[in-house]
Amino acid sequence: MILTVTLNAAIDKRYVVENLQLSEVNRIIECSYTAGGKGLNVSRVASIAGEKVIATGFVGGHAGEYIIEQIEKQKIQNAFIKVKGESRSCINIYDITNHTQTEFLEPGLFVDNSSQEELLKMYQELVQTCDVVTISGSLPQGCDQQIYQKLVSLAKEAGKKVIVDASGNLLQESIKAKPTMIKPNIDEIKALTGMEGLSREELITAAKTIVRSGVEIVAISLGKEGTLTVCEEGVYQVTVPKIDVINTVGCGDSMVAGFAIGLARKMPLEEILKFASAISVANAMQLETGFFVKEEMEKILPLIRVKLIKKTEELNEGVPT
Ligand code: TA6
């Protein structure tokens, strides 16, 4: 079972437009609403893959009711803390003329200390019932910046694997609690290292430093270039087949879901890398965020290539022990 944490749940609104123009009236051709926020995308993808999921976090107001209604329709078990205010909307503008995606992410509602305490208390019970925990996305307003650290520590104290998908200071703080895995993209790795224009070797060195600090797996998503994963065995390069990309929003969340499923099913790491990458690619083939078609994923799976490009001993060359 996977426990997903979405502290800043959202209604994801996708607007399809033709030739988006700033300072003009842009008529929307098609719009769709889904329960979103990274953790709820992880929940939906894991549920499609056949994994039992329970989702927790904060929701509020009519928007919060809508989010709960949507995830219950998707048969996703949930235990959200209801707070005052309205859950946010995250807008994804999909320009079919210029093939661009532009996102507007609201900051989210305000969560007071007592609601945060209530969540931590419930989380400690939920963690006992799961195999893997995923903690994803931004924090709502008022949230303690150390809350991800606390959630990671509680999961580890309960002997559970825990994946964090966050950015900036939140990711930096989370790493201090030594999560099982993080999945930064290149910008997030640059922010962690404070370095610009990272070469592949510098990316690997940065990830290796994080692994040395106690994070078991650092999977750097490189978009259509696949993934570079650094762990105790060494460095794996994952390459993915070329596809007709429809919508890449949610690919990172789909990858997190794939990793969580693989860890829950105790798959060998190379199988997890293939499985997670295939789900992420399959998500990009769908207009809907955080969604994939199993048959498409199964066709992609054999086309994923995983290669151990560096062993640990090579990684440690020249490093004082
Ligand atoms: O990764 C895509 C997405 O989950 C969107 O669906 C939207 O909800 C956004 O990210 C939320 O990101 P945030 O980092 O604010 O939680």
Nearest CA to ligand 1 atom 5: 37
H-helix or E-strand spanning residue 200: helix 200-212
Predicted pLDDT at 193: 82
- Contact criterion met (CB below 8 Å) for 15 and 8: no
Alpha-carbon gap, residue 44 to 25, rounded angstroms:
34
**CB-CB neighbours of 196 under 10 Å:** 6
Nearest CA to ligand 1 atom 7: 37
Alpha-carbon gap, residue 129 to 53, rounded angstroms:
11
Centre of ligand 1 from the C-alpha of residue 317, in Å: 39
Q: How many residues does the chain have?
A: 321
108 lines ligand 1 (CB under 6 A): no
Predicted pLDDT at 318: 53
Predicted pLDDT at 197: 79
- Contact criterion met (CB below 8 Å) for 198 and 168: no
Nearest CA to ligand 1 atom 11: 37
Pocket test for ligand 1, best of 12, 58, 88, 136 (most atoms within 8 A of CB): 12
pTM of the model: 0.95
Atom of ligand 1 nearest to the CA of 8: 16
Predicted pLDDT at 315: 61
What is the DSSP code (8-state) at residue 159? T
Atom of ligand 1 nearest to the CA of 36: 8
Centre of ligand 1 from the C-alpha of residue 316, in Å: 36
Predicted pLDDT at 321: 42
Alpha-carbon gap, residue 260 to 266, rounded angstroms:
10
Atom of ligand 1 nearest to the CA of 249: 2
Mean pLDDT for back-to-back runs of 10 residues, the chain (321 residues): 98 97 98 96 98 98 98 96 98 94 96 98 98 98 97 98 96 96 91 83 92 96 89 94 90 97 97 97 93 97 94 63 42
